[in-house]
Amino acid sequence: MAARVSTIWFLGGADARTELSKYPQPDQTEALNIAMSLYPDKEFESLGPQPLSMAATVSPGYVFVGAYGRVSVVCSSELSTFVPSKLPESWHLSAEGGSTLLISSVPETAQGSFALWENGELRRSFSALPIDIVENLGIPQTWELEFWAGNHPLRYPPGFLPDPQSLPFHPQQFAESANLEWLGFRYTGAPREHELDTTQILLWGFKIHRPGEAPKPAPPAPVPVPEQAPTEIPTPENMPPIHDAPVAKPRGRLARYFGFK
């Protein structure tokens, strides 16, 4: 895995591959609640929805959260840890009966890490550099066997003598295989058949601020009121002239009575 990845997944008894295959929209309110629970003394500036392909490469000062019902994910630079078992308990957000998955990959050091917690108990943790295993706890998963058997060896230039302590695989590729096995997608290369597309999995992005430094939301723009022509008040000067209506002449006996002929 050449990509930078710094993620932790919370599965509340759900199959992540099935849930994510629907490409659900992230819940903004729940995403903010999760961010606030992880950084209780911070304020947040919303950045809107962002694809996982970008969010997983998160830089310090930012956090990306995807909340999709029973499946949630957080991308934070704090998850690029060399020792997954030392991750603070505040990051263990899965409810009872759920699983927590940590996936980390750092290209600059060629580090690859992954960990699995079930019901709050650490079941598997691995972290290594190409020539140094930092942590290797728990019973290896079934999918790991082909790596330990040497089926994915590191490749070196002709004439290069590898360090005798070199692993029989690249730790970043090892971490990506954990991600594929547990979540159904890879970060490198185009999605293969039945693999999820990380550009279609959206998370809600936030910039982290110290208290009082987050920009305030802009007030709503005033609604323009259409101008009306002023109503002219009649005055003696602008009133139209008044003409007396003509009086109809009486006819018949009334005409003779009033002297009309």
Looking from the CA of 119 toward its CB, the CA atoms found within 13 Å total 1
Averaged pLDDT of the chain: 85
The mean per-residue pLDDT over the stretch 156-162 comes to 72
Q: Which residues of 165-185 are buried (b: 16+ CB within 10 A; e: fewer)?
A: eebebbbbbbbbbbbbebbbb
Cα–Cα distance for residue pair 102/94, rounded to 1 Å:
12
Q: Which of 37-41, 74-78, 226-230 has the lowest mean pLDDT?
A: 226-230
Single-letter code of the amino acid located at 208:
I
Q: Which of 35, 15, 19 is nearest to 98 (CA)?
A: 15
Note whether 19 and 68 are within 8 A (CB).
yes
| pLDDT on residue 62 | 97
Q: Enumerate residues 6+ apart whose C-beta is below 8 A from 199.
A: 51, 52, 53
Q: Which residues of 50-62 are buried (b: 16+ CB within 10 A; e: fewer)?
A: bebeebbbbeeeb
Q: Which of 120, 180, 117, 109 is nearest to 144 (CA)?
A: 180
Residue 1: is it exposed, middle or buried by C-beta count within 10 angstroms (0-12/13-18/19+)? buried
| pLDDT on residue 93 | 73
> Does residue 235 register a pLDDT over 90?
no
Model pTM score: 0.79
Note whether 46 and 65 are within 8 A (CB).
no
Dihedral (CA of 89, 92, 96, 101) sign? negative
Q: Which of 10-24, 43-57, 241-255 has the lowest mean pLDDT?
A: 241-255
